[in-house]
Structure 1
Amino acid sequence: MKFFKACLVLVVTLILIGALQTKFGDLPPIGKFLNPVTGFWQNAESRNIDAQLNLKMEGLQGKVTIRYDEEMIPHIFADNDHDLYFAQGYVTAHDRLWQMDIQTRSASGRLAEIVGAKALDVDRYHRRMGMVYGAENTLKECMKDPQSKLVLEAYCAGVNEYIHHLPSKYYPIEFKLLDYAPEDYTPLNCALVLKLMSETLAGGSDDFQLTNTLKYFGPKVTADLFPDYPFNEDPIIPAGTKWDFKPLPLPKPSKAFLDEMTDTIHTKPKVEGIGSNNWAIAGSRSANGYPILANDPHLHLTYPSIWYQNQLAAPGVNVNGVSLPGTPGIIIGYNQKIGWGVTNVDADVLDWYQIRFKDLAKNEYWYNNRWVPVKKRIEEIKIRGQKTLYDTVIYTHIGPVVYPAANQKPQMGKAANVPVGHALRWIAHDPSNEFKTFYLLNRGKNYEDYREAIKYFFAPAQNFIYAGNDQNIAITPNGKFPLKYKDQGKFILDGSDPADDWQGWIPMDQNPTVKNPPQGFISSANQSSTDPTYPYYINWHFGSYTRGKRINDRLRTLHHATVDSLRVLQTDDYSVFAQDILATMLNDLDVSKMDNGQKQVYQIIGKWDKQYSAGSMGASIFELWWDNLYNAIWTDDFMVKKQLNIQLKWPSRYRTVQLLLTEKESKWYDDSRTQEIETRASLINRSFDATVDSMTRKYGKPGTAWQWGAVKGSHISHLANINGFGSGNFSAGGAAGVVNALSEENGPSWRMIVQFGPRVQGYGVLPGGESGNPGSYYYDNFLKTWQTGQLKPLLFLDSSADGAAHIKTTVTLNNK
């Protein structure tokens, strides 16, 4: 019996050991994860890090000193460029290794390698969109430039030095949860990060919904509802600016293609709420007589933070700001001479072309009156626990045919909206070397250096703002813009007609720009780049006018401006949109027919100050009321026409404002699904009643539950949506259409203000922290500062011996 019990215990123990080392579904081997020596316990970090470390490693040419301040922000001092970027790669990997790994796996279509077949559709989408193809083209271009080659290879060598000496017990916790190990980092990974930004900022398209709209309603209605220049615009380059160049002749439009359209089409719409603000004021408007620059890029907020703070110093460079984990250099920042920031241009650099294949084999397509052979690229997609998939992607002279047949298109996310049988022309596929732009900006000394640097930046097009101690301010909507005929790419294009091909490029020195305008300030908030006098087509549709108008209105009133007055503007919650339309909505309400509950809500919204502050009930009421009114106007005409299997482009909210303000008797107010004739007033009253009913059912009587901060529910999610690693909901002001563009999940991913003068001083804050480790105090230690609209002074060291009072840790790297 004792022997039997002993055997039973042994068998059970062996089973448990086996089970603990085995993956079950999405769970890691639980024994490995809970192991106190190698598991997640090893990922806890103390706030009180105080150490002096001397490390020897291969690959360095000299000595590097890394000084960590109180916030664990690294300040890197090296004797040469190679060692500087080697060290930047090393410290970034120390803090953000898993983030670097997962973002490039996503961009390159390699998630299935670690999570299995459930990621296969996403992987195929990224491969078929040509993300790797574009990154390869960019890398080839970068490697032609000796300096860029040195920087990229040194950065990757530093990352790999960290990986090669990292024991598995210290792997970031996400590697343990997903049960895989980091791999060597390559320059291709750096290029993939750029392509990921192109996908985020220049990867959406309205072409096909608009083409369906054109087919359904005709050209007159389409031109009226989707005008080429928006209502109430205040453009980036001040209206009336004269162009000091002779423009190139524009290509001629192709023949009408609309009647030849064979498909009903769906595509990924542009993401609303992703944008940015930047501005600079001249010394004539500041308290100290020098320019001030501000920037806050708005992106999808995640933990770890999108940006990584660091200072880089070597002979010829000393620069402070933020980098993108996985790429070398400082992307947004300043030195002791100049500063710069970016917002998205939203240029039309992604077009779809209908392709006519010869037959079902799809080996040839019709172009320029002849059959042309396709090229085929085999994508090898590894799948955890399954056989490798070999996916054939067809390429035309235009670009990849993402899904040649309907049965190849999965019904998921972005891929579900890609048109079948169409080729993609996308600027992200073209060779470029954006790294050189930031290499030069980091070392810039004046306006001329800024202009030289940005000519290497192709995609995604950005509004590069400049300010410097040379007393200049400037802004340039900059990128590699196709030379197009007017509205080319607004609708689907003919893949068989050479006239619809991109016909060259707008010369970089003819991109719109302004330097030291008489108004004494410059700004951008994703609105139109120029007024209609600019001779080239960049796009027909940009971000809303409201943020840009509010910024410019406030800057016009600022004299003797300070960092703090611009900080207040960055967190401004006032709604120009509500300012423009709320009075009309209120005036059309019939108060005599309201019950007591509706009258109470009417009183609240009537007294609203148009601020999207966290405690505002008026903001919550207005936001839902507007949504209900918008849907009441357009749903009957623009909802998906299921009987026709088409999806239409809906008019923008700002075209809707124009309709309500200027067309009181418009036909669009009548609901074609009802017998009665609806009017503007009846829709406004009906949508108000629906708003009161909906909010009362959901939140009870007006009170704290109606406050905007609670209703909006802002939060920051973990990059892999791991529960417990995000922020949870927090109450904060802001909205997509106000300067403080904090919505539910999108918002200011980095706030920065730079005051120029004899000593240049920067201020900034991330919505998180430096560390990518959820077990670290420095994972989210900036959140409260960011949430309350405050900024932290940015420590700028002149040498490695500087700033002793602010330094917690020093790490010295030496060659072995």
Structure 2
Amino acid sequence: MATLFRWLFRATTAALVVLTLGLLTVYYLASRSLPDYDKTRAVAGTTADIEIVRDNNSIPHIFAYSDRDAFFGLGYAHAQDRLWQMTLLRRTVQGRLSEIFGTRTVDTDTLLRRLDLYTLASRSVEAQDPATRDALEAYAAGVNARIEEINERSLGRGAPEFFLFNAPLAPWQPADSIAVLKLLSLQLSGQLNEEVLRARTSLGLDDDSRLSDLLPDMPGDGIAALPEYASLVPGAGTGSKLPETQHAFLDPAPRRGLAGASNAWAADASRSASGGTLLANDPHLPLTAPSIWYLARLQLQSGSVIGATIPGVPAVMIGRSERLAWGLTSSYLDDQDLHIEEVNPDNTEQYRTPDGWAEFRTRRSIINIKDAAPVTLTLRWTENGPVLPRSQFDLDEVTPPGHVASLAWTALSAQDTSMTAAVSLMNANNVREGIAAGEDYVAPSQNLTLIDSDTIALKLIGTMPRRDPGHQSRGRMPSPGWIEANRWQGKLPYASNPEFVAPAGGIVGNTNNKIIDRPFPNHVSYDWGDSQRVQRWRALMQGREVHTRDSFIEAQLDTVSPAARTLLPLIGADLWFTGEAAPAGTPERRRQRALELLADWNGEMNEHMPEPLIYAAWLRALQQRLIQDDLGPLAAEFDHIEPLFIERVYRDVNGASDWCDIRRSAAVETCSDIARVALDDALVWISENYGTSLESLRWGDAHQALHEHQVLGEVPLLRYFVNIRQSTSGGDFTLQRGVSSGQDPAPFTNVHGAGYRGVYDFADPDSSVFVTSTGQSGHFLSRHYDDLGQLWRRGEYVPMSLDEDLARAASVGVTRLVKP
């Protein structure tokens, strides 16, 4: 026995030694790629020496003697901190993910190959103005200088992920940067999803007149009734296919409700306590680790510019210079149209056009797949745009046999000068020059909010398609592509884009709400991103005669839900304070206690309170009860609350209370009945997941912000090191927006929100502040991987100063790139 014990002890000790050595080896290899911020390195391709001063938050302040060198320095800094992220973005838009991830990304690669965004980006390089081409080339040279350094000095391949997913790292090209912007366009565009869902819902409803309840027009002047989708495209499916259980791995196309969003507002001197203009901006995107945003300051010949950049792109996309500040919000411009194309039954290489049959434009493309045989695609285009896979976006449900679906989209341009617009904006001196710079912008369409020392403005930028007044669906549902009236007729002039300069009230802003009401076809959109936050924003802006930087910060962080304030009195009208007190421990008593809590609640979605969780679970169960029997499996597509729909039902707008009656039951249910049963459903769900004590519930336990590593985030054990989780306030309809996932088993996980916040005060520009949701580094062993995220979670910011001495005084290192 003693001998056996000794051998077991030795074996255990040996195993622990081997494990420890293995972990130390892994740590050593991973840590080799941690960048050294305090060094001097000789690099080729610069015209003079460059200094990259990293302040206390690792924000690079890049000092150079020419714009070209400044962009070189930005490329080098991006590659120091985010090389894996940049590589992943490039491979995604190229449709080359399967080369390193295998079969699970074939669908994603197939979509990107068919959209052909990278080819269009390559052709767009020559469309840029000389200054922008120079910036693209210099930036690429900076990225490649860092790649060369990694290879020469064996710096852990540049990031830990490269050890797990080994693939040759090609030099960065100017086209790569334009391609990243095009990929962002895909991520921010949700009109395609809306068209398909509207068509599927039209097909799935027995009473098509109820479509305007579930997918209502935004408040404002209405439009003429739409035809049923079945009459537009006979032979389409039923619209009731079971939904996909999971989004494709690394698919950049957004799920419905998770496309671009944002807040931005500005005040002129008459509405500012300090006498200077003010601007606040927080763009909303999927929360990832690291964030898509990277803070930086560039010293250009026209002056310094500081703000949020996107790794891979040589521009400060959101921020300020010494004379101008700008913010972006998704405009929700209807810049996508789906067309149903009829294929010639006698020749499948042809499709119908207004002038008869025409040949598809085709090209072969090979997807190489790790550990599997390559797949050869035949890419096809019509005059309307590329043909999309029937298996994606639920197109098979709305595309009849013998037809295919093609996409018209403004981002599908080989003359895309959006990069020129971004570079020109950094050099603009005032609001008017900023608006002029936006004329070159193509996609993704944005609302550009601007301030200079005395003027504020909002301008929609991005190409607006020109539609025929006779368009059958007005761009709201897929339409036959062989009918001339359904095709785009070019683009509208930039001057027709909505513009608000120096408004009389002294305040301008956007929360993705409807900004203008113009008749079709000069409209902007029928589908907008917000009908709720704008109500709270208007109240906060009008509640004070003058504003300050701090009042703008307070508005950014506001967590009161106007949806909750509107809907709860409607759905609980017949439930509050009715009947006798139920015995303790019964479901009735639990329901009464929940109603008591909600009756005293002001709608604040505070992470420490129980009421937001009760409210959110109730609304989710209620909407499911209202639509399940009418839509069947299609109901699962409505996984986020539709407040306008619920309001219409409980106000009985045009008979919308019919949704409350369960058609499959003999009894006639009232809306009060459904509200009561849904509350019981919600309380059962809460007790199963969070306990039976209502008073001890915390919204933040359910509404945790999940900043997920896009590749390693689901790997057992490793996910605890690479993902960032934080308890958060806010919700789907608060200004501090945190959109829930909508999917079981954690439907209220915060997955989409403000990855960047900035507030700019031109009375004292260096008192401006900003922050991102994670940190500057994409390396999970770096202390800068999540350090800014702690401030973001608490509603704090860091100084957005152009003071060079301040940056140097608290620097974590100075990198000097010198000529060899």
Select which of 235, 238, 241 maps to 1:262: 235
1:373 aligns with 359
1:428 aligns with 2:421: no
Offset, 1:636: 1.2
Offset, 1:213: 3.5
Offset, 1:577: 0.5
Residue identity matched to 2:183: L
Select which of 663, 670, 680 maps to 2:671: 680
* Shift in CA distance, 543/758, structure 1 to aligned 2, threshold 3 Å: closer
Offset, 1:508: 0.6
Aligned-partner Cα distance in 1 for 2:185–2:126: 18
- State how 1:474-489 maps to structure 2 within 5 Å: 474-484=457-467, 485=469, 488-489=474-475
2:794 aligns with 788
Aligned partners of 1:317 and 1:442 also within 8 Å: no
2:761 aligns with 755
Select which of 141, 148, 163 maps to 1:157: 141
Offset, 1:618: 0.8
Aligned partners of 2:204 and 2:631 also within 8 Å: no
Aligned-partner Cα distance in 1 for 2:114–2:366: 12
- State how 1:202-601 maps to structure 2 within 5 Å: 202-203=189-190, 204-215=192-203, 217=205, 221=209, 224-225=212-213, 229-231=217-219, 258-264=231-237, 270-272=256-258, 274-359=260-345, 362-403=348-389, 409=391, 421-430=404-413, 431-469=415-453, 471-484=454-467, 485=469, 488-532=474-518, 536-589=522-575, 591-592=578-579, 595-601=588-594
Aligned-partner Cα distance in 2 for 1:639–1:125: 28
- State how 1:1-12 maps to structure 2 within 5 Å: none
- State how 1:737-752 maps to structure 2 within 5 Å: 737-743=733-739, 744-752=750-758
Match of 1:198, SS state, is helix
Aligned-partner Cα distance in 2 for 1:476–1:660: 37
Aligned-partner Cα distance in 1 for 2:27–2:788: 30
Offset, 1:259: 4.9
Match of 1:165, SS state, is helix
1:94 aligns with 80
Select which of 640, 644, 651 maps to 1:661: 651
Aligned partners of 1:193 and 1:326 also within 8 Å: yes
Residue identity matched to 1:482: P
Aligned-partner Cα distance in 2 for 1:36–1:224: 57
RMSD of aligned C-alpha atoms? 3.1
Residue identity matched to 1:342: L
Aligned-partner Cα distance in 1 for 2:178–2:31: 34
Match of 1:540, SS state, is coil
1:4 aligns with none
Offset, 1:59: 0.7
Instruction: Name the count of aligned residue pairs.
Output: 753
* Shift in CA distance, 769/418, structure 1 to aligned 2, threshold 3 Å: farther
- Percent pairwise identity: 24
1:119 aligns with 105
* Shift in CA distance, 389/600, structure 1 to aligned 2, threshold 3 Å: same
Which segment drifts farther, 565-574 or 712-721? 712-721
Aligned-partner Cα distance in 2 for 1:641–1:163: 48
Aligned partners of 2:265 and 2:508 also within 8 Å: yes
Aligned partners of 1:633 and 1:669 also within 8 Å: yes
Aligned partners of 2:205 and 2:631 also within 8 Å: no
Aligned-partner Cα distance in 2 for 1:772–1:803: 22
Match of 1:709, SS state, is helix
Aligned partners of 2:257 and 2:640 also within 8 Å: no
Offset, 1:159: 0.4
Offset, 1:665: 7.4
2:7 aligns with none
Which segment drifts farther, 288-297 or 342-351? 342-351
Offset, 1:180: 3.2
Residue identity matched to 2:456: I
1:244 aligns with none
Instruction: Give CA-to-partner distance per residue, 1:458-509, whole Å, 9 cap, x none.
Output: 111101001111x100111221011123752101111111221101212111
Aligned-partner Cα distance in 1 for 2:276–2:641: 43
Aligned partners of 2:342 and 2:352 also within 8 Å: yes
Residue identity matched to 1:565: S
Aligned partners of 1:464 and 1:476 also within 8 Å: yes
Residue identity matched to 2:614: I
2:130 aligns with 146
Aligned partners of 1:231 and 1:654 also within 8 Å: no
Aligned partners of 1:473 and 1:522 also within 8 Å: yes
Which segment drifts farther, 520-529 or 214-223? 214-223
- State how 1:28-39 maps to structure 2 within 5 Å: 35=25, 39=29
Please give the TM-score of this superposition, normalised by the length of structure 1: 0.86
Match of 2:443, SS state, is coil
Match of 1:503, SS state, is strand
Offset, 1:140: 4.3
Aligned-partner Cα distance in 1 for 2:34–2:815: 21
Match of 2:489, SS state, is coil
* Shift in CA distance, 35/695, structure 1 to aligned 2, threshold 3 Å: closer
Instruction: Give CA-to-partner distance per residue, 1:223-269, whole Å, 9 cap, x none.
Output: 63367741379x9xxxxxxxxxxxxxxxxx99998254332268986
Aligned partners of 1:357 and 1:365 also within 8 Å: yes
Match of 1:724, SS state, is helix
Offset, 1:558: 2.1
Offset, 1:54: 2.4
Please give the TM-score of this superposition, normalised by the length of structure 2: 0.86
| Structure 1: gaps spanning 5 or more residues | 1-15, 21-29, 236-252
Match of 2:681, SS state, is helix
Aligned-partner Cα distance in 1 for 2:204–2:780: 51
Offset, 1:323: 0.5
* Shift in CA distance, 809/449, structure 1 to aligned 2, threshold 3 Å: same
Residue identity matched to 2:452: G
Offset, 1:814: 1.9
1:770 aligns with 2:770: no
Aligned partners of 2:511 and 2:534 also within 8 Å: yes
Match of 1:582, SS state, is helix
2:163 aligns with 176
Match of 1:609, SS state, is coil
1:671 aligns with 2:685: no
Match of 2:304, SS state, is strand
1:724 aligns with 2:720: yes
Offset, 1:741: 0.5
Aligned-partner Cα distance in 1 for 2:182–2:531: 28
| Structure 2: gaps spanning 5 or more residues | 1-14, 244-253, 583-587, 714-718, 740-749
Offset, 1:222: 5.3
Select which of 90, 95, 99 maps to 1:109: 95
- State how 1:593-632 maps to structure 2 within 5 Å: 595-632=588-625
Aligned-partner Cα distance in 2 for 1:130–1:761: 44
Instruction: Give CA-to-partner distance per residue, 1:512-545, whole Å, 9 cap, x none.
Output: 1111212221111111121346971221110121
* Shift in CA distance, 475/114, structure 1 to aligned 2, threshold 3 Å: same
Select which of 691, 694, 709 maps to 2:682: 691
Residue identity matched to 2:455: N
Select which of 61, 64, 69 maps to 2:55: 69
Aligned-partner Cα distance in 1 for 2:294–2:634: 46
Aligned-partner Cα distance in 1 for 2:737–2:669: 34
Instruction: Give CA-to-partner distance per residue, 1:414-465, whole Å, 9 cap, x none.
Output: 8988957211112221131111112111111111111111111111110100
